[in-house]
Amino acid sequence: MHDHLPAAPIPSSAPAPLPVARILGLGGAGIQAVEQMCRAGLEGAVGIAIHSDARCLASCSLPVKHLLGGHVTRGLKAGDPEMARALAEAEVDALRELGRGADLVVMVAGLGGNTAAGAAPVLARALRETRALVLALVALPFDFEGRRRQTQARAALRELRTAADAVVSLPNQNVVALLDAQTSLTEALRVIDDLLARGVRGLLRLLRRDGLINVDFGDLCHVVRGRQAESRLATAEAAGEHRAREVVEQLAHSPLLDQGRALARADALLVSLTAGPGLALGEVNQVMEQIQRLAARAQVIMGALVDPALDQRLAVTLVASDKTGPAPVATPSAADREVVPEPPEPEPPAGEFPPPADRPGSERVPTRGAASRGQRGGEPGPELELPGHERVGSAEPAASTARPARRRRPQQISLPLEPIARGRFAGTDPTVHQGEDLDRPTYQRRGVTLN
């Protein structure tokens, strides 16, 4: 099955142009993350840094930099999100220029920071106007970063959902659960950057390599477009005899996937397996079988590709989208933005960008200023991930930003009909068969709609 490359869904004249990808770091945290991705090698995508802080930009190793509002702030940071938004709006043409010609823009940001929170939605909108597929990859602040950052991040996330094609969010607080208390903060931040980086790398690999079973740009669009609600991106890698099992286990416990809960909620799933030439049919089968069991509701698109560089390792990249999330609050401009991606215009294939290792300044050790560190924070709260809360949020944004939601109560949302279903069976042991509560109506559990 040797299709030609990630074919953009349009006839193209050039010899199978690769989709052009840009990785864009916005704000201190975003830049840090993108730098780390580039250091590890990014399949030819180019990294771009955008910030309102000239000092941070100066010390950054990315090849393309853009200073937001230099003439207003003189390179000192934007003081609050509203200011950052105003600066971004003022420079929207320049921002659009950054995305020109790209098919896919991955925007990485820590929404706790002022610049990111204010500029991200504007930037996403601007980039989408260039007909690129905009995937926002955002980190949400730790709980300890305080209420203000949290509400700010939540508001920005909500806005971003209507502006970008897909938003993949990683609440930093989820990562805390993975690390023990002794882990240094630097290490924790590095882990978060690494999680983001692995996700992006897997995504690029998926789009740029010729697959045995091909997944292409069109498939990605299919999975994420129109599903602004909830997209997750995760990768896992394992080697050794039981790599197929381990890799799925890693995914099932990935904080990017809410410890696997996001899989159960997903209704569209793109899975790509990459391994060395020794990839066995049995392994593909095993991985897919397990993933399909985890994501019973989802429509699964799968791809497999062989990358000799991986040797004995098996990597799985997964994009999960949940359409049932909050309906996008469509602004008039958001509505006409649903465009099929154009074929890449004559534009240097991303592969021709200089390999990141050659860049000057790549040796720079991440020394985060207090400011950039703060950028990752706010305090989102994992509850941001719950569709129920978001539904409340999108309905009345003002009220929800002020709401001190702290606890995660995922059960409440999925069982609205519990009182009726339980009625007759109150006081009895629930009848559970293979994890299914048989006291709930069969038609509900099987998703049969009555109309």
Partner 1 sequence: MFDPAPQILVGLEIGTSKVCAVVGEHKPDGSLSILGVGQARSRGVRKGEIVDQTTATEDVRTALAEAEHMADVEIRSVYLGVSGAHLQSFNHRGRHTIPSHDREIMEEDVQDVVRNAKSFTLQADRHVVHVVRQHFIVDGQAGLIDPVGMPGALLEVDVHVVHGLTARLQRPIHVVKNLQIEVENLVFSGIASSLAVLSSPDKRRGVLVMDLGAGITDYVAYADGLIRHTGTLAVGGDHVSADLACGLKVGLGRAEALKCSHGGVHLDPGDEERTLSLPSESGLPDKVVKLGHLRRIMALRLEEIFEIIAEDLEKQNLLDRLRAGVVLCGGGARVPGITELAERVFGLPASVGRTRSLSGLVATLDQPEFATAIGLVKFGSFQTPRTPTQRWRWRLRQTLGHLGSVFRMI
Q: Which is nearer to partner 1, 338 or 436 (CB)?
A: 436
User: In terms of CB distance, is 407 or 424 closer to partner 1?
Assistant: 424
50 forms beta bridges with 26, 66
Q: Which of 282, 332, 423, 435 binds partner 1 (CB under 8 A)?
A: 423
Diameter of the chain measured on Cα atoms: 71
Q: Which stretch binds partner 1 (CB under 8 A): 140-148, 203-211, 387-395, 438-446?
A: 438-446
Q: Is 3 exposed, middle or buried (0-12, 13-18, 19+ CB in 10 A)?
A: middle
Cα–Cα separations (whole angstroms), residue 153 to 85, 121, 289, 314, 326: 14, 12, 37, 35, 17
Interaction between residue 354 and partner 1 (CB under 8 A): no
- If binding is defined by CB under 8 A, does position 428 make contact with partner 1? yes
- Give the C-alpha separation, 195 to 235, whole Å: 8
Does residue 447 interact with partner 1 by CB under 8 A?
A: no
What are the DSSP E strand ranges found in 329-449? 432-433, 436-437
- What's the first-to-final CA gap in the chain, in angstroms? 42
Contact region with partner 1 (CB under 8 A), list: 156-164, 383-391, 402-410, 426-434:
426-434
**424 lies in the binding site for partner 1 (CB under 8 A):** yes
Q: Is 429 in the site for partner 1 (CB under 8 A)?
A: yes
- Rounded CA separation 215/213 (Å): 7
CB of 424 to partner 1, least distance (A): 5
Enclosing H/E stretch for 55:
helix 54-58
Part of the chain binding partner 1 (CB under 8 A), chosen from 314-322, 348-356, 398-406, 430-438: 430-438
Q: Which two tokens stand for residue 270?
A: 């793109």
Q: Which residues are bridge partners to 316 per DSSP?
A: 236, 273
Q: Give, to the nearest 10 degrees, the angle between helix 147-163 and helix 81-90.
A: 30
- Residue 444 engages partner 1 in binding (rule: CB under 8 A): yes
Beta bridge partners of 304: 213, 273
| Least Cβ distance, residue 297 to partner 1 (angstroms) | 17
Cβ distance to partner 1 smaller for residue 144 or 425: 425
Residue 439 binds partner 1, judged by CB under 8 A: yes
> Which of 76, 417 has the CB closer to partner 1?
417
> Which residues have a Cβ under 8 Å from the Cβ of 113 and sit 6 or more positions away?
27, 28, 29, 371, 372, 374, 375, 376
* Segment near partner 1 (CB under 8 A); pick from 83-91, 127-135, 289-297, 425-433: 425-433
Q: Taking CB under 8 A as the rule, does residue 420 contact partner 1? A: yes
Question: How many chain residues bind partner 1 (CB under 8 A)?
Answer: 20
Does 421 contact partner 1 by CB under 8 A?
Answer: yes
Instruction: Compare residues 182 and 449 and give the one whose CB is closer to partner 1.
Output: 449
Query: Which residues lie closer than 8 Å to 380 by C-beta, 6 or more apart?
Result: 111, 112, 140, 141, 150, 153, 154, 157, 169, 171, 172, 173
Looking at beta carbons only, is 261 or 422 nearer to partner 1? 422
Q: Interaction with partner 1 in 66-125: which residues (CB under 8 A)?
A: none
Stretch that binds partner 1, among 34-42, 366-374, 380-388, 416-424 (CB under 8 A): 416-424
Q: Which is nearer to partner 1, 398 or 450 (CB)?
A: 450
* Residue 441 near partner 1 by CB under 8 A: yes
Query: What's the token pair of residue 349?
Result: 């294939």
Question: Is the CB of 246 or the CB of 439 nearer to partner 1?
Answer: 439
Query: According to CB under 8 A, which one of 277, 282, 427, 435 is a site residue for partner 1?
Result: 427
Q: What is the DSSP string of 106-127?
A: EEEEETTSHHHHHHHHHHHHHH
Cβ neighbours of residue 365 closer than 8 Å, sequence gap 6 or more: none
How near is the Cβ of 418 to partner 1 at its closest, in Å?
A: 10
**By the rule CB under 8 A, 293 interacts with partner 1:** no
415 belongs to the binding site for partner 1 (CB under 8 A): no
* 367 vs 434, beta carbon nearer partner 1: 434
Strand partners, 406: none
- Residues at the interface with partner 1 (CB under 8 A): 417, 420-421, 423-425, 427-429, 431, 433, 438-439, 441-444, 446, 448, 450
